[in-house]
Every structure is written in C-alpha cells, then in structure tokens.
C-alpha cells in the first residue's frame, strides 16, 4: 500500500496530501511511527549521556509519529466518522502505552538524570537550559521515580484515561446529534430574524425533510433561538436539551465516565506524591497552587457577584415591564437580556451582522496582523484540502519569506465537533540548520451562507474569529529552535493571552474601519454603531465574570478532591455551584456532563486560565492603548518577547520583558466597568 505518511510530501510547500490520505493509511503509519520512535530511544540509550545525544535527541525523536498523530486527531475533531472514532479508540491505547514506555524507561531516565545533574548550564543557551529542566521534570512528573509496581499502575491509569476522554467527547457529540427541534408552524418562529429562519429552512431541507425549519444544538442554531424566539416553551425545550447533553438516560450518558476520570486522575496525582490532581497540574502553571486560583476568584467575585445580581434584577424588571409574570429561568435570560440591550443601546446582532460578512472579517484579521507584524496572507487554490469548506493561505513576511500555512475551516457539519479552536498540523523548529515553518488551522462553527445571503457573523462570532486568530498568530510567528518549546507550547494559563488580547481590536474604530463594511452597499460601519459596540461591551460584564468563575470553580471542585468515594455528578455539581448560583437549579441539566474542556480537552484543573489570561490581556492592551493600537514598537516588543518565544522561558519573565511589570486584576476590573 502506497502510504503518504511514509514518504516525503510532494505538494507545494510540503503541504499535507489530504487528497491522498485514506482512513486505512493511519494505523500502519501509527505502527511505523511507534517502531521508529522505539528505535530512536534505543539509540539514545547506547550513548554516553550528553545534552546533544540525550536531551536534544529525545526532543527530536518520534517525528513520524507526530506527523501522523497531528493529522489524525485534528481530523477526528473537524471531519470525523464512526469508523475514524472507532480507530481513535484503537490507536489511543497504543499511543498511551508507547508514551508511558518512554516516560517510565529506567535506563532512559538514568541518562536524562545524568545530564540534568552534571551539565554545566553556563555552556547551554537559555532555551537549552529550559528544555533540560522541562525534560527532567517531565520524566519525574510521569512517574520515573516510582517503584516498578507503581509504574505499572500509572501505565494502566494513563491508558484508561486516554480511552475515557475520547469516550466523553464522542458521547457529547453523539448526544448533540440525537436532538432536533423540527418546527412546522411558522407562528412558533415569532421573533426570529429572517436570516435565522432561512438558515433553519435550509438545514431542514438538507436533512431530507420536506417542510419546516430545523434547529439543533450547534451554536449558530441554538444561540439565536435562545436570544430571539418569543415561544418560551420551545426556548425551554431547547435550553434543557442543550444542558442535558451527556446527561440523558441513553448510551451517551457521561456520569459514570466523569466519576471514573476524576477518580483515576486523583489516583495518578497521589501515586506521584501530590494531595490532589489540581496540586499536580498547577505546579507547572503560572498560578502555581489552588490557593492562588481561589484568591483570583475571591478578588473577582467580591466585586462582580453583587453587581451580577443587580444586572439580573434589572433584566427581571425589564421583563416585567414587557408583561412577563413568571420567575425568570435560564431559558428566559438571553431573550430578555437581548431586549434590555436593545433598549439601552439600540444595538443588536441583526443591526450589526450586515457589516460583518465572514470573508471581510477574516480579511480584517489579516489587515490587523499586517499592520502589527508586517505579514501578508495569500490564498492558495492549488493545495490539498480535507474538506471543500476549508480555505488555505500562504503567510509571508515583509521580505516575502514563507512564514506559515494557514487553514481556515468555518462551517458546521456532521462529524465536526461544536465550538471553535486553533490547532496545528505541523510545528515549527530549526533542526539541522533547516527552518521548518508551521501549518496552523482555525476551526469554527459559523452560520453557512444561504441562497440569498453570505455568511454574516454576530459580533460574538467576530470576536471568536479574532480570538482563534490570536492563537494562530502565536503558532505562525513562532521562532524557536525546539518544537516542544515553540508557538502555543506554553503554560496553559498563558496560552490564552494572545487569543484574548486579539479580541480587543474588534472594539476599536481604527481597526473596525479596516473591515466592517455593509455586505450589500460596501458602506463602512457608522461611527455611532462603533460607539454603541464599545458602550455595550460592559453590558452584563459582572454576570459574565460570575459565569466564567463558576465554571472555573466547578473544574477546580472536581480536581481539588482528595477522595472520590460515593460521588453523584448532579449533587456534586449543585454543591460546587452554590456560591455563584444565579438561577433556580434545574435537575434535568448538568454542566459537567458536557464540559469537554476539562473532561476531554487539556483544561482539567485549568479552566481558570481564561480568567487568568483576561487579567494578562487587559493589562497588556492597556499598553497598546497608551501608545496606539497599531504602535509598531509595542507590537514588535509583543511579537519578540511573547509570540515568537513560545515556551522557551517562564511566561512571567516573558510578560515582564514585554510590559515591564507583573499584571494586576485592576486593569481587568476597570475594562469590565466594575471599578
């Protein structure tokens, strides 16, 4: 079998040959990658240990496996099938076993330890010192110092966790697909904008239904319905279905999966000598300890919680003015919050959407990047794609040098998980005097174009695109030597700084003028709208702060346990959320059961990172505002000290090199209008 993974890529720019890759190519390529990786490890163990032949050789081992894994797992998120998910369940234990074998290899650790204890660090570069420390700590944190019986236990735990996190993710996706709200009475669509109705009719047709409008739990379908639909009964139905993903009495229920994941993570942490899984995780984060995370929340909640209750009361009062007589429930919130927003600011998504045609917003992100970092984006029609919706760009610097390949994948489809994320198909490194530039992708779920309208984004979707593009810039502008320290390979509570910082350009007149143009008339967005966007940016900021904090507290509650006996997912969640509960508790819904960030992604004991990064980005953007949002000196310092450096140094050191001081929560509270 002619396997594309086992030969050099021949497409222009060495682009990934998606047109040649078949499902049957993956398993043999994984097996070949594991075999090659094991051989490389054996060669390392034969050497007299030194930095180059042990630490650097280990860093560079497993390149074939990385090549296959990055394509497979990215496609499993963005363009999967039942067969691919089945294969994921097959190969995950293979990969975990391989990874465990390396991290628990006594001879290999002995060699690493020898270099760590005996190296003259004055002869190493800063990046080499950081790699040495990271490699040694990685072994210790993966159980290298454990006795052999406990190493075996750890291997089993890691293998089981790899399977469980995949199962969790698949359950959420499949349970989401189980639900459809098919409406045949046009009266039930009252309040919904024409564009949303048209998209729902198109979706209904695409699913083989002869009439009506179809709504699903995908964000572009779910969120507008909750925001605009007057039919309260249907809002409740949709809200409860969304909140019950992974919590229904069917084959996709995640309650037992959660209980097992939490118990295994705790067991792993305690095997490694930590009280809780949170203690284990936070040792390698900027936050350092659970107590520092709780301190951040205490500071934020002290200011935000009373104000959030005031905001909620204001919405209740407005609802009553509009004739609403019941208790305000979770499924009423978005609807009446949107009505109050219209009253206060005379601005809403439907007024703004014509100015945010998807192609223009993407072009706007490119223009902002060009003004800040002197890079340009050139669409390539000649490169293989994994789906017809994907668009590919070649990124160049001001000297016309190749910087990166950028893939953009924007529309929902079956086989694509919900939400938005940035990922990488190839990392960046400078091995063997050969500069390997990265292949970066952003994946979103925006409303597809209809027969009469292009894809028009809500303002929230505009900020989502800029957010993911900020991550992409972190990947694209990486300039390190070692791939494992490059781009977004940073502490989890630092990785959201570039993404959240980028959102700020969506609110600035100077930036909006570059791309916010009416899709029919080409007229620039009126300045009064820009002012209203800025004025409304603080709308419900206290509520959003409490909401984000409650999710972070739920995550930390699950991972700061020191025993897991008799856990009921619903009771535990109810107890964890008591101090931030703003709506009556609903027994039919459960956040944990679909909380993929912490049970299927990398945010376990790390969801606080979003708020932590908001503190950083508010402080950082204050610097841009002081000097000018397109100030070249500030942008260059940001690029040189943060974006290009990746994880080659402790993030607080990098931040201080850029900003000159550590951040405080004041900039964030000020930005949110809370002080």
Is residue 92 a part of any domain in this protein?
yes
What's the confidence (pLDDT) of residue 564?
78
Distance CA 139, CA 109 (A): 7
Is residue 168 a part of any domain in this protein?
no
Q: Is 580 exposed, middle or buried (0-12, 13-18, 19+ CB in 10 A)?
A: buried
Is residue 166 a part of any domain in this protein?
no
Among candidate residues 518, 537, 556, the one where a domain is terminated: 537
Answer yes or no: do 398 and 524 share one domain. Answer: yes
Answer yes or no: do 396 and 493 share one domain. Answer: yes
Is residue 444 a part of any domain in this protein?
no
Distance CA 671, CA 482 (A): 37
Answer yes or no: do 11 and 109 share one domain. Answer: yes
Answer yes or no: do 370 and 403 share one domain. Answer: yes
Please, what's the b/e burial string for 153-169 (b: 16 or more CB within 10 A of its CB; e: otherwise)? Answer: bbbebbbebbbbbbbbb
DSSP letter, residue 642 = I
Neighbours of 238 (CB within 10 A): 22
Following DSSP, what letter does each residue of 518-585 receive, concatenated? -TTT-PBPPHHHHHHHHHHTTTTHHHHHHHHHHHHHHHHHHHS-S--TT--HHHHHHHHTGGG--S--
What's the confidence (pLDDT) of residue 411?
95
Answer yes or no: do 299 and 372 share one domain. Answer: no
Neighbours of 202 (CB within 10 A): 17
Domain count, the chain: 4
Crossing angle of helices 82-103/23-45, nearest 10°?
Answer: 0
Among candidate residues 86, 121, 145, the one where a domain is terminated: 145
Cα separation values, 262 from 267, 293, 398, 421, 442, Å: 9, 19, 49, 25, 30
Answer yes or no: do 502 and 521 share one domain. Answer: yes
Is residue 155 a part of any domain in this protein?
no
Answer yes or no: do 239 and 249 share one domain. Answer: no
Annotated catalytic residues are 468
Please, what's the b/e burial string for 309-332 (b: 16 or more CB within 10 A of its CB; e: otherwise)? Answer: eebbeebbebbeeeebeeebebbb
Place of tokens 């600035």: 508
**Domain of residue 90, CATH code:** 1.20.1050.40
List the one residue out of 403, 385, 329 whose CA is nearest residue 583. 329
List the one residue out of 486, 485, 489, 532 whose CA is nearest residue 512. 532
Cα separation values, 530 from 216, 511, 617, Å: 32, 10, 21
What's the confidence (pLDDT) of residue 672?
86
**Domain of residue 649, CATH code:** 1.10.1370.10
Distance CA 209, CA 182 (A): 9
Segments in 51-147 forming alpha helices (H): 57-60, 63-78, 82-103, 106-118, 126-141
Following DSSP, what letter does each residue of 354-388 receive, concatenated? GG-BHHHHHHHHHHHHHHHH--EEEEESSS--SST
Distance CA 58, CA 110 (A): 13
CB 104 within 8 A of CB 150: no
Distance CA 116, CA 636 (A): 35
Range of the domain at 99: 4-103+105-145
Residue 474 Rama label (left phi>0; alpha psi -120 to 50; beta)? alpha
**Domain of residue 482, CATH code:** 1.10.1370.40
Answer yes or no: do 359 and 318 share one domain. Answer: no
The stretches in the chain having pLDDT less than 70 are 1
Among candidate residues 226, 243, 260, the one where a domain is terminated: 243
Is residue 170 a part of any domain in this protein?
no
Is residue 64 a part of any domain in this protein?
yes
Place of tokens 């959240």: 500
Answer yes or no: do 190 and 262 share one domain. Answer: no
Answer yes or no: do 336 and 462 share one domain. Answer: no
Is residue 167 a part of any domain in this protein?
no
Answer yes or no: do 366 and 317 share one domain. Answer: no
Answer yes or no: do 656 and 526 share one domain. Answer: no
């Amino acid at each position: 079998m002619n396997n594309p993974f086992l030969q050099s890529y021949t497409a222009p720019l060495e682009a990934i040959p998606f047109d040649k890759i078949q499902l049957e190519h993956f398993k043999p390529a994984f097996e070949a990658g594991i075999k090659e990786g094991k051989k490389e490890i054996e060669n390392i163990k034969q050497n007299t240990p030194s930095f180059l032949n042990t630490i650097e050789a280990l860093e560079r081992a497993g390149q074939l496996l990385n090549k296959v894994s990055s394509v497979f797992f990215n496609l499993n998120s963005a363009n999967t099938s039942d067969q691919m998910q089945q294969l994921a369940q097959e190969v995950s234990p293979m990969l975990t076993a391989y990874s465990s074998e390396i991290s628990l290899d006594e001879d290999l650790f002995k060699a690493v330890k020898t270099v760590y204890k005996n190296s003259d660090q004055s002869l190493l570069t800063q990046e080499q010192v950081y790699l040495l420390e990271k490699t040694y700590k990685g072994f210790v944190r993966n159980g290298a110092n454990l006795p052999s019986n406990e190493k075996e236990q750890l291997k089993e735990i890691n293998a089981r966790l790899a399977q469980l996190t995949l199962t969790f993710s698949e359950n959420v996706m499949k349970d989401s697909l189980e639900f459809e709200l098919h409406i045949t009475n046009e009266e039930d669509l009252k309040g919904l904008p024409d564009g949303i109705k048209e998209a729902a009719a198109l979706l209904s047709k695409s699913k083989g239904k002869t009439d009506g409008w179809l709504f699903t739990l995908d964000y572009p379908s779910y969120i507008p319905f909750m925001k605009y639909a007057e039919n309260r009964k249907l809002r409740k139905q949709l809200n409860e279905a969304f909140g019950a993903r992974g919590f229904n009495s069917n084959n996709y229920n995640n309650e037992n999966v959660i209980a097992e994941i939490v118990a295994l993570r705790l067991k792993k942490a305690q095997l490694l000598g930590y009280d809780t899984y949170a203690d284990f995780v936070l040792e390698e984060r900027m936050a350092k300890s659970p107590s520092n995370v709780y301190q951040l929340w205490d500071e934020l909640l002290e200011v935000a919680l009373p104000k959030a209750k005031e905001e909620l009361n204001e919405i209740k009062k407005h609802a009553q003015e509009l004739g609403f007589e019941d208790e305000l429930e979770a499924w009423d919130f978005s609807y009446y919050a949107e009505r109050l927003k219209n009253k206060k600011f005379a601005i809403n998504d439907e007024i703004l959407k014509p100015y945010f045609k998807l192609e223009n917003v993407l072009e706007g992100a490119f223009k902002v990047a060009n003004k800040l970092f002197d890079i340009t984006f050139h669409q390539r029609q000649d490169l293989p794609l994994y789906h017809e919706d994907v668009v590919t760009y070649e990124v160049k610097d001001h000297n016309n040098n190749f910087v990166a390949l950028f893939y953009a994948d924007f529309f929902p489809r079956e086989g694509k998980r919900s939400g938005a994320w940035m990922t990488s198909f190839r990392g960046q490194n400078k091995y063997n005097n050969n500069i390997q530039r990265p292949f970066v992708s952003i994946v979103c779920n925006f409303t597809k174009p209809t027969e009469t309208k292009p894809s028009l984004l809500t303002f929230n979707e505009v900020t989502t695109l800029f957010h993911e593009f900020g991550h992409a810039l972190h990947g694209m502008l990486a300039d390190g030597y070692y791939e494992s320290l490059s781009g977004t390979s940073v502490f989890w509570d630092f990785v959201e700084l570039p993404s959240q910082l980028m959102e700020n350009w969506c609110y600035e007149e100077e930036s909006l003028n570059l791309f916010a143009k009416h899709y029919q008339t080409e007229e620039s967005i009126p300045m009064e709208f820009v002012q209203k966007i800025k004025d409304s940016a603080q709308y419900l900021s206290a509520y959003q702060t409490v909401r984000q904090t409650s999710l972070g507290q739920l995550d930390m509650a699950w991972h700061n346990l020191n025993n897991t006996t008799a856990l009921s997912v619903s009771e535990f969640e109810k107890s964890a959320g008591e101090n931030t509960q703003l709506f009556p508790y609903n027994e039919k819904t459960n956040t944990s059961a679909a909380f993929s960030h912490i049970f299927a992604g990398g945010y376990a004991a790390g969801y606080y990172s979003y708020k932590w990064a908001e503190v950083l980005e508010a402080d950082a953007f204050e610097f841009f505002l002081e000097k000018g949002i397109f100030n070249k000196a500030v942008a260059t310092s940001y690029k040189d000290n943060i974006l290009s450096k990746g994880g080659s140094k402790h993030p607080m050191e990098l931040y201080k090199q850029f900003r000159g001081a550590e951040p405080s929560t004041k900039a964030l509270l000020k930005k949110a209008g809370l002080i």
